[in-house]
Structure 1
Amino acid sequence: MSTAVVTANKGVFRGLNLRQKTLLIIGLTSLLLLTIVVSSVTMDEDSLKTDFGSKNLNPSAEHPFGTDWMGRDMFIRTVKGLGLSILVGAFASTISTVLAVVLGLLSSAGKAVDSFVSWLVDLFLSIPHLLLIILISIGLGGGAYGVIMGVTLTHWTSLTRVVRAEIKQLKTQEYIHISKNLGKSKWWIATKHILPHLIPQILLGTILMFPHAILHEASVTFLGFGLSPHEPAIGIILSESMKYLSAGYWWLAFFPGLSLLIVVLAFDMIGDNLGKIIDPKTAHE
């Protein structure tokens, strides 16, 4: 019976075209991420209270991810940490996208502005991301504000290059030259002709920015330059677990680390499949 069910499911999946499969994958992955965020917000804070009578318990049905050295449920801590990382990544990615689009549009204003934007992009890319995030975070006093601004101010460069290159290509189109000859302003051309064509690239760039933002936030927090130790962030959970790995409490790092990897891969999967829909070569397969 189970074989028949599996065969039937495969048959249904095979009956879908590439676009339908892609949308299904995007929908299921997005649902997973949304569930994590909603669960992290709605979970009862009382479940994170210390219970030294239940400390360092192995993974079980009652505690799927085990408990830590203070008796706190690691599954709940992990879900809350993932939700926090996703929210930080969303906030940082959104601001970075706005910054990238503004600079990309400004680059079309003239050669002097374009040269400045290009120089600024090269300057930021010449400094390692992690180092620059740490410097910005320290300079802004650390904490949530410092790490968010650090991630924000270091992740706009790649998307700016994409937007700038797309604008250069669009400016060679005939309808752009016609608009110029009709006396349309640069702002009118940018908002009416150029910006609408950039929306697919902007959307894809924003989604692909998520995993980088999440990983960098977790890395900086792990090193002690990010979120407050009182926050249930994944970086803090992993940093604290390093003290107990030698004692055999492997689950303190394994499950949070694996969960973070799954979230990052989920965003990559959404981005890759969204790229298939946007690409004219595969959009109608």
Structure 2
Amino acid sequence: MTDLALPTTTRRPRRSRRRPGRLGSLVAATVLGAAVAACLLAPVLWPLDQSAVDLGSTRLAPSPAHPAGTDDLGRDVALRSLYGLRVSLLVGAVAALVAAVIGGLVGAVAGTLGGWVDRALMRVVDTVAALPHLLLGIFVVAMLRPGIGAVILSVGLTHWLSTARIVRSELLSLRTRPFVDAAISGGASRARVLTRHLLPHVLPRLALATTLMVPHAVWHETALSFLGLGLPPHLASIGNMISDGQRSLLTGAWWASIVPGLLLVAVTLALATLTGRWRERLDPRVRAELHL
């Protein structure tokens, strides 16, 4: 009598539940939170006179009295960097909101109405997208008086295209879903379908696109200020400080432009890391893999 071999079952190795990128997200959140807190508390703890100069303390190297040194007018680089980052983040956030409103309206109209309206609006989007954003922004600022309002309008008018495409594509995808057909069959008007059934699904994507737009807006404002088309020269902004620090590089005062530039890079990378993590969480396929 032969022994029957029992079938052996192989157990699949259990996939680790540890989510990748958690440490990077924690570091990014810490950097961004510390920078935002310092920018908000700087006017209260360390008041700064934007027009004050100290010709007796020009181009001082980093020291306990001036952790990031001084510029060619004797102004503290670390303190002015915080004020400059505060202005740049404010301009970038408001400009991103302006671009989100413009792009959201255009995308909503194109995705809801469809037909020739959709085709006409998308041709406008393609035409504007073919133009270099920075040159278009320079043209907008040149037509207006340089200042915060002109920079915000310039960035908003050049960064709404991706938002319009995202909102349009989401609406076109949602229009074919069964719950939309059920709402229309139940007698819901087009406005009710848009506001009650479609917008709640589009708003998370729109919020993510707006957040992703903030680093681009900050860099756009920095480029305009660097070219002398942004904020007034006496006001502290990252672009103005980098532009003014070029003269100090020739005399060895590298900190005048390197410190604000590194601060800008660190904050924008932290913001991009967090928004990238958010985008992964919104993707159903990535979210399913993270929970395996």
TM-score normalised by length of structure 2 = 0.86
Shift of 1:116: 2.2
Aligned match for 1:89, one of 89, 92, 98: 92
- What is the rounded CA distance, in whole Å, between the counterparts of 1:147 and 1:77 in structure 2? 20
Unaligned runs of 5+ in 1: 1-13
Q: With structure 1 as the length reference, what TM-score do the two structures score?
A: 0.88
The AA in structure 2 aligned to 1:241 is G
Q: CA deviation at 1:35?
A: 1.3
2:34 is aligned with 1:32: yes
Residue pair 1:220, 1:235 contacting (<8 A) in 2 also: yes
- Tell me, in whole angstroms, the C-alpha distance in 1 between the residues paired with 2:138 and 2:172: 34
Identity level (%) = 35
| Closer/same/farther in 2, CA of residues 175 and 22 from structure 1, 3 Å limit | farther
Structure 2: tracts of 5 or more residues without a match: 1-15
**Inter-partner Cα distance in structure 2 for 1:29 and 1:121:** 36
Contact kept? 2:28, 2:270, Cα under 8 Å: no
- Offset, 1:244: 2.2
Residues 193-245 of structure 1 show CA distances to partners (whole Å, capped at 9, x for unaligned) of 11111122112111110110000100011101111112101111111111221
| Runs of 4+ more than 6 Å apart | none
| Structure showing the higher helix proportion among its residues | 1
Contact 1:25 1:273 in 2 (8 A): no
Alpha-carbon distance change, 274 to 29 in structure 1, aligned in 2, over 3 angstroms: farther
Structure 2 SS opposite 1:242: helix
How much has 1:100 moved relative to structure 2? 1.4
State the AA in 2 paired with 1:90: A
Amino acid at match of 1:191: T
Q: In the alignment, is the contact (CA less than 8 A) between 2:25 and 2:273 conserved in 1?
A: no
Aligned position for 2:69: 66
Alignment of 1:247 with 2:229, yes or no, is: no
Structure 1 residues 19, 232: CA separation in 2 closer, same or farther (over 3 Å shift)? closer
Q: Distance in 1 between matches of 2:50 and 2:116?
A: 57
Letter in 1 for 2:217: A
Q: Aligned partners of 2:72 and 2:29: how far apart in 1?
A: 38
- One of 130, 145, 152 as aligned partner of 1:148: 152
Q: Give the 3 Å change call, closer, same or farther, for CA 185–41 of structure 1 in structure 2.
A: farther
Q: For 1:50-103, what per-residue CA distance to the aligned partner results, in whole angstroms no more than 9, with x for missing partners? A: 222221100112211100111110000111001100000010001111111111
Contact 1:234 1:260 in 2 (8 A): yes
Among residues 280, 284, 287, which one is paired with 1:280 in the alignment? 284
Structure 1 residues 223 and 49: CA distance shift in structure 2, 3 A = same
- Measured against aligned partners, the alpha-carbon deviations of 1:94-138 in whole angstroms (never above 9, x if no partner) come to 111111111111111231221122012112101100000000011
User: Residue in 1 aligned with 2:56?
Assistant: 53
Structure of larger gyration radius:
2
The CA RMSD measured in Å over matched residues stands at: 2.2
Paired position in structure 2 for 1:210? 214
> 1:6-21 maps to which residues of 2 (within 5 A)?
17=19
Structure 2 SS opposite 1:196: helix
For 2:219, give the aligned amino acid.
L
Question: Against the structure 1 CA distance between its residues 124 and 91, is the aligned structure 2 distance closer, same or farther, given a 3 Å change threshold?
Answer: same
